[in-house]
Amino acid sequence: MGFMERGIMRTKFPAWQIFLWWHHFFLLWSTIDGQTRYSIPEELKRGSVVGNLAKDLGLVVSELHRRNLRITSEAGKQYFSLDLGKGELVVTDRIDREELCGQRPSCLLPLELVIDNPLQLHRVEIEIQDTNDNSPSFLTKDKVVKIAELVNPGARFPLESAQDPDVGQNSVRSYLISKNEHFKLTVKNQKDGRKVPELVLEKPLDREKQPVHHLILTAVDGGDPVRSGTSEITVIVLDNNDNAPQFERHLYEANVSENAAPGTEILRVKATDADEGLNGEIEYVFGELTDDQVLSVFYIEPSTGAITVKGILDHEANSLYRFDVTAKDKGSPEMDGHCGVEIKIADINDNIPEIIVTSLTTPVAEDSAIGTVIALISSKDPDSGDNGKVTLRLSSKSPFKLSPSVSNHYSLVTNGSLDREKNSQYSVTITAADSGKPSLSSEKTIRVELLDVNDNPPVFSQPSYVVYVKENNAPGKILHSVSASDLDLGENAKISYSILDSKVQDVSVSYVYINSDNGSIYSMHSFDYEKLKVFQIQVQAKDQGSPSLSSNATVHVFILDQNDNAPAVIYPSSAALGSLSHQRMPRSAKAGHLVTKVTAVDADSGHNAWISYRLAEATDASLFTVNLYTGEVRTKRAVSEQDDSSQRLLIEIKDDGEPVQSSTVTVSILLEDGLHEPILDLRHKLSEPSRKTGRITLYLILSLASVSVLSLVTFLILAVKCIRSSRSSGSCCMRRSDCDDYKNPNRNLQIQLNTDGPIKYVEVLGGDMLSQSQSFRSCMSPMSEYSDFTLIKPSSTTDFKEVISVLDASLPDSTWTFESQQVSI
């Protein structure tokens, strides 16, 4: 029994199973009409005998042909055929149990056999027994399992079950995992009997240590021999954002010039993050508490960490920026790292030094001493180092200098004498330059005004003036105008003129007054050349400064002669006798006999005093002749007996002035007989004037002596009187109010007291009489009593009468008339 053998051979069934087999076998036999079952393993070779049908169905082998035993084809494919010769069922095709029955635990192939004569239907079932012909296999050879890094141990991750088409023992029995330290494997039995392998995490994962684990899962079946299949399992440890970005340095430092243009990169910070993906993707931002100032000036590129200039840097405003930079990853939760950044702003010489005038004194008195402080000046440069080191200097030449005091402070002081008259103001230009490279500089101009000081006296346009005035000028007319100028300003230059003194030969007189405002000098009276030829005026110009300055000038006034005097006959002196001049001459006189000599003088001078004589009328014009120049009267011829003994001559005396002035003298000549020595007489006569002159000199000396004695006596008396009379009275006045007429016809003087206007003065004019006696109030200062009798004093005048009487007493009339111009006034 092949069937039995094979069945036993093919399967190693336990004893109870063999029993079961036997039981089935008999059962089959018992239902032979119904069904016959064979059991064969799958994958039998073609031609293998499944069973002897003839025997099992009770058929005779020899009849099989005839009765045409055949398999009806129910199902499409036929795996079996009949060997009619032996009555055996033979395998004709490969039988794959897994193909036929899949995972069904029993796999029966029904077979219907038909035999004719008589027609019989036999059912045969062929059970296909599994053989371990398939290895377990995994659908995916490379399985990827992603496990989050932070998963706790114990977590299970189902894996794919292996497929094994075999059934029963031959199907997957167990799983194995390759050796590793993190995972173990458990197998979970599903309700449907499937075994599902599961990875169980035994030890925490760290992606940063080992991001990928390679495992091999092996599925083993229960066949004999054992078959297995593997699957590669890649465990990818999913990153957990468990690493914060780490900066390479704690502190980054950089320098940047303050003139760095926006966009200039200063430095790059760099952080790394061990995580991956978004967890490792770093974004750089300024730290949370970063100052707005920093934000306005710098920019950080989020992806690269490059810090660039964004705004305007200014070393002076901020020379150092400190801030934090945060590197953030994009994980969830995000993690961040921090670093410090210090950016120093390097100074550039970008600030122009500034000059500050703290205080300025102006105007400055021109007489300020050297070293006087005029201004306090300081400088400012916000740059640092050399860029901010400022030096000041004066750029223009000036009498000032800068003297340095404490740092960056200077005082502007005078370094020379100032003169407002040369330079009334200065523009002091101060240059400030710093020590940067290149150096920057600025300028400031200070205006220093000078204050006038009265340091210049008025200066007359000429040191002395010469003025010519015609005599007989009208009083009150401008004689001359002097002018002075003063270089100073204002009151210091306001000039007032005054007359210090007027002098005639060192004797003070008062002929003029001056307009104090403009220097016009006015005469106070008419001048008489014959009495006054020249005088000096000391004028003073005085400014109004304090103290005031003055200067003097002399005005020389020359009186010009006018022909205002007629020649005056001195000899023969008819006027003195009040009658004709009588001359006597002998009848015996020959031709050319000098009868007399007419002498005349002219008070004028020059041509005005150039006298010529002419015989104007004569009793007998043929007898006498008058020398034109000498005035000698001589006989033209010898006197004859017929000539009248009394002859009268009218001699005209003319000067050469313009207009001509003339006078006449009448000479009566008595012709006498027996008269001799005419020449001696004449000589005597001629010498008369010189003797007279000598006498005059004597008289003068006497009079001066007497005046001196008199004045001394007077002074003593006055002094004694004064002391006695009144101690309270400041001045000592002598009062005289006698009103007796004082008249001297011979005096050629006229004295007038002028009391008009502010100035009281006395005019002494040429004249023939003192018209009226006046009451004088005289306050005689002992010192100037006689020497300066025209001295003008308010409320006091000199007693002229006294003076004149003194003069009168000391001088004979004729002489006085003559000499008055020299001594008077």
Ligand X SMILES: *[C@@H]1O[C@H](CO)[C@@H](O)[C@H](O)[C@H]1NC(C)=O
For residue 121, how many other CB atoms are within 10 A of its CB? Answer: 11
The residue among 109 and 512 lying less far from ligand X, judged by its C-beta, is 512
> Which amino acid does the sequence have at 299?
Y
Distances (CA, A) of 718 to 711, 734, 780, 796, 804: 10, 8, 10, 16, 20
Smallest distance from the beta carbon of 403 to ligand X, in angstroms?
A: 9
Tell which residue, 776, 752, 772, 768, has the closest CA to residue 816.
768
Q: Are 384 and 315 in contact (CB under 8 A)?
A: yes
Smallest distance from the beta carbon of 341 to ligand X, in angstroms?
A: 11
The residue among 162 and 355 lying less far from ligand X, judged by its C-beta, is 355
Smallest distance from the beta carbon of 798 to ligand X, in angstroms?
A: 24
The helix-helix angle for 800-810 and 678-725 (nearest 10°) equals 150
The CA distance from 443 to 601, in Å, is 86
The two tokens of residue 34 are 């119904």
Rg (CA), the chain: 84
The residue among 522 and 610 lying less far from ligand X, judged by its C-beta, is 522
Q: Are 534 and 488 in contact (CB under 8 A)?
A: no
Residues making contact with ligand X (CB under 6 A): 253-255, 344, 401, 415-416, 481, 500, 515, 518, 520, 540, 550-552
The CA distance from 111 to 113, in Å, is 7
Smallest distance from the beta carbon of 396 to ligand X, in angstroms?
A: 11
> Which amino acid does the sequence have at 78?
Q
Smallest distance from the beta carbon of 253 to ligand X, in angstroms?
A: 5
The residue among 360 and 500 lying less far from ligand X, judged by its C-beta, is 500
DSSP 8-state assignment for residue 12: -
Smallest distance from the beta carbon of 481 to ligand X, in angstroms?
A: 4
Distances (CA, A) of 472 to 527, 532, 746: 5, 11, 22
Smallest distance from the beta carbon of 487 to ligand X, in angstroms?
A: 16
DSSP 8-state assignment for residue 806: H
The residue among 416 and 606 lying less far from ligand X, judged by its C-beta, is 416
Smallest distance from the beta carbon of 258 to ligand X, in angstroms?
A: 13
The two tokens of residue 35 are 């069904």
Burial of 723 (0-12, 13-18, 19+ CB in 10 A): exposed
The residue among 105 and 416 lying less far from ligand X, judged by its C-beta, is 416
The residue among 550 and 796 lying less far from ligand X, judged by its C-beta, is 550
The residue among 31 and 515 lying less far from ligand X, judged by its C-beta, is 515
Smallest distance from the beta carbon of 417 to ligand X, in angstroms?
A: 10
The residue among 238 and 428 lying less far from ligand X, judged by its C-beta, is 428
Smallest distance from the beta carbon of 540 to ligand X, in angstroms?
A: 6
Q: What is the dihedral of CA 81, 84, 89, 95, to 10 degrees?
A: -20
The residue among 284 and 497 lying less far from ligand X, judged by its C-beta, is 497
The CA distance from 732 to 715, in Å, is 11
Please name the residue that has the structure tokens 């009218």. 650
Smallest distance from the beta carbon of 395 to ligand X, in angstroms?
A: 12
The CA distance from 767 to 751, in Å, is 9
Strands, DSSP E only, in 320-408?
A: 320-329, 336-346, 354-360, 364-365, 373-380, 390-394, 400-404
* 90, β-bridge pairs: 49, 81
The residue among 196 and 549 lying less far from ligand X, judged by its C-beta, is 549
Distances (CA, A) of 40 to 48, 70, 84, 772: 10, 20, 20, 206
The residue among 551 and 661 lying less far from ligand X, judged by its C-beta, is 551
The two tokens of residue 170 are 């031959």
Smallest distance from the beta carbon of 407 to ligand X, in angstroms?
A: 20
Smallest distance from the beta carbon of 362 to ligand X, in angstroms?
A: 19
Strands, DSSP E only, in 107-264?
A: 108-115, 120-129, 142-148, 156-158, 172-177, 183-189, 195-201, 212-221, 228-238, 246-247, 251-257
Smallest distance from the beta carbon of 546 to ligand X, in angstroms?
A: 17
The residue among 517 and 617 lying less far from ligand X, judged by its C-beta, is 517
Distances (CA, A) of 189 to 136, 138, 192, 560: 16, 17, 8, 169
Smallest distance from the beta carbon of 538 to ligand X, in angstroms?
A: 6
Q: Are 181 and 201 in contact (CB under 8 A)?
A: no
Please name the residue that has the structure tokens 């042909």. 65
Distances (CA, A) of 820 to 528, 561, 610, 653: 12, 17, 21, 23
Strands, DSSP E only, in 587-702?
A: 594-597, 599-601, 612-618, 624-626, 632-635, 646-654, 662-672
Strands, DSSP E only, in 530-636?
A: 534-543, 550-560, 568-571, 581-586, 594-597, 599-601, 612-618, 624-626, 632-635
The residue among 520 and 536 lying less far from ligand X, judged by its C-beta, is 520
Smallest distance from the beta carbon of 255 to ligand X, in angstroms?
A: 4
The residue among 399 and 782 lying less far from ligand X, judged by its C-beta, is 399
The residue among 392 and 671 lying less far from ligand X, judged by its C-beta, is 392
The residue among 346 and 675 lying less far from ligand X, judged by its C-beta, is 346
The CA distance from 521 to 555, in Å, is 10
Distances (CA, A) of 618 to 142, 575, 586, 668: 191, 20, 18, 10
Residue 92: which region, alpha, beta or left (left: phi > 0; alpha: psi -120 to 50)?
alpha
Smallest distance from the beta carbon of 295 to ligand X, in angstroms?
A: 22
In order, the DSSP letters of 622-648 are TTEEE-TTT-EEEESS---TTS-SEEE
The CA distance from 258 to 312, in Å, is 8
The residue among 124 and 495 lying less far from ligand X, judged by its C-beta, is 495
Smallest distance from the beta carbon of 342 to ligand X, in angstroms?
A: 9
